[in-house]
Structure 1
């Protein structure tokens, strides 16, 4: 007989299953935790031309419950914001549940991919050695699972770790990470790490790096620390300098901070849908915004094709059922769809997506607050994005 979980454990699931709290968390992170802005830069916002298209009546996905159109998809995904760019123009834009175009929204793990762009850019510039262990840049991590892993292992989720001697369990470790950066999510009597750096030091290897795909936040937090050591900049300042200030963004973005004032780089980032769409359009255009090359063209154009030899090419999203097909690849913290359109995406919990499909000339941003529970099936977002792209290109 399974014992009932003690009341003190209920907080571990609060961020997944409480709809009211979840909507507040995704839209008002800076009210719940200390934060640091990602400056949009001094230049005027870059215009997003509009070419509206009526997509509401389009049949998107057929499920057991029937054929979904956008209103049904929005209900299933608890959508807060949805924006579609086609050939650089806004063809569809909607905001629900109190979200507004100027309001930053939680990006969750989609932020991992943005950090991957910075790392790939610094490596392209010769400032970061992909083959070096992380401890070459952060000496105090020597002997830990992450410190002994190569930069490429971090960029491809190639470490196998155990924290503080616990058997690794992805949902548990995700909640443990939230407890590090968000005191309000700590259960009664919590005595674990209270900063990201302290958390990383408890990681020990349980297998050789580079041999298995294991989606884990510590890879990204280690990489973020490496980048801070290389550049001398905070993660917020680095993202602003390398990317955000060059997009023509309308608004500052922001990261939430831990107790030491360090950014939660793996998922504590918030920005508006319009500005994230600008980032996606920059990637679709080979790393350029107009006549300005923001990131090297090689970095942008090899997101899909650059998976190194030896890394798995058949993986699945963290929330996917374990018996679902492993059809994705993973490169430099981006999810590769392996479809005919060279599509790839940044993906985060509760429905955050930045979807880029160069051959469909498509960029889609979806922000959501979907409850994470076995009783709530994930919304078929990617299938819907592709259907929209094919329709717009017909």
Structure 2
């Protein structure tokens, strides 16, 4: 339930209603604030083999009960990029609104899933225990809303916290969180926390943990700090060491930093669409890049395994309370339960990485969707399913 707004909450409820404003913020991360590179490594980029198919004019079911061409759907949804990989080949790629393939684009909350993968790798190496309380790894969190949580509860978004003794509202807290990280987004007279760790220190338990799924950025930032304490290196270096430098990326990625130099792990990662497709292809191939096993197959297989308990059926955070709980959630990944083993990293304003092993499909979507009651939610998952069906049908006929 959404909390009743107080007068001093109104400034936090404005949101991003201008696609040009959203796009500018998503595509100029390195120019508008401090960032830390996620090094691509010293090897040559791994080529993406191509077998291009013109999907622009395929008919897709779209909003308001219409059937439109894919190009129309992309234009109406303020899409910046769509890259489709099928059976290891790049079959469709388009860039709109001046966005270019070699430029980093904010992944927003899709970055949560990448951190979940890093955590799973450290667990597989025996360095991280799901059942251990967070304060064991980060003593400063003792007495806060995250200190008594277990690592598993962070990974499955099953804490129940409130910040600064405010009534909890997911959207308002997301805006306040951005103000912590980005001074330019702070309203006049701002007196709140100025670093991510200071923000997490204001969290207090509001109810029992492990009983309900509640999507909250603080879980991811708490987990990121746990990983930093375990490894002794930054989130950016960990990402580079374990993944980014091994997938054949063509460009460095980067993380936005807070004023203390801490990475914004829950949504501040930016990278090009082709490089995110390379990450998705590695996962689709069971953790392998060519003949090299980058991620143990058992770690990849576990991502799409529907969990038992409270995250076996959940809904996207922007869905209404009456929306069907048709997804599952595991280790910061969304599971589509579509019969094809599909799972997805999902971020605000249309950032998506879809991996569908059963369809031999990887899709990267970047967008600048606005969030407004007057604009229908863009049905990207349904769009991806239609693309998959068309490609699988074409492959069957050939």
TM-score, length basis structure 2: 0.95
Structure-2 separation of matches of 1:278 and 1:84: 11
Structure-2 separation of matches of 1:376 and 1:6: 26
Report what 2:26 is aligned to.
26
Report what 1:251 is aligned to.
251
Structure-2 separation of matches of 1:176 and 1:62: 33
Report what 1:372 is aligned to.
371
Structure-1 separation of matches of 2:185 and 2:300: 37
Report what 1:266 is aligned to.
266
Q: CA deviation at 1:18?
A: 2.7
1:293-337: CA deviation from partner (whole Å, max 9, x where unpaired):
111111111111152x33332211111122111101100000001
Q: CA deviation at 1:8?
A: 9.7
Please list every run of at least 4 consecutive aligned residues from structure 1 whose deviation after the TM superposition is greater than 3 angstroms: 4-10, 12-15
Structure-2 separation of matches of 1:369 and 1:152: 32
Q: How does 1:273-292 map to 2 (within 5 A)?
A: 273-292=273-292
Two-structure CA RMSD over aligned residues (Å): 1.7
How many residues are matched? 390
Q: Is the 8 A contact 2:306 2:328 kept in 1?
A: no
Q: CA deviation at 1:286?
A: 0.5
Change (3 A) 1:115 1:7: closer
Report what 1:363 is aligned to.
362
Structure-2 separation of matches of 1:5 and 1:32: 31
Report what 1:338 is aligned to.
337
Structure-2 separation of matches of 1:114 and 1:39: 15
1:90-131: CA deviation from partner (whole Å, max 9, x where unpaired):
000000111111000010000000000000010011000010
1:382 aligns with 2:378: no
Structure-2 separation of matches of 1:274 and 1:14: 33
Structure-2 separation of matches of 1:97 and 1:266: 26
Report what 2:298 is aligned to.
298
Question: Equivalent residue of 1:36, what SS?
Answer: strand
Structure-1 separation of matches of 2:48 and 2:290: 12
Q: Is the 8 A contact 2:306 2:312 kept in 1?
A: no
Change (3 A) 1:376 1:293: same
Report what 2:179 is aligned to.
179
1:121-148: CA deviation from partner (whole Å, max 9, x where unpaired):
1001100001001111000101211111
TM-score, length basis structure 1: 0.96
Report what 1:317 is aligned to.
316
Q: Is the 8 A contact 1:15 1:21 kept in 2?
A: no
Q: Is the 8 A contact 1:61 1:380 kept in 2?
A: no
Report what 1:84 is aligned to.
84
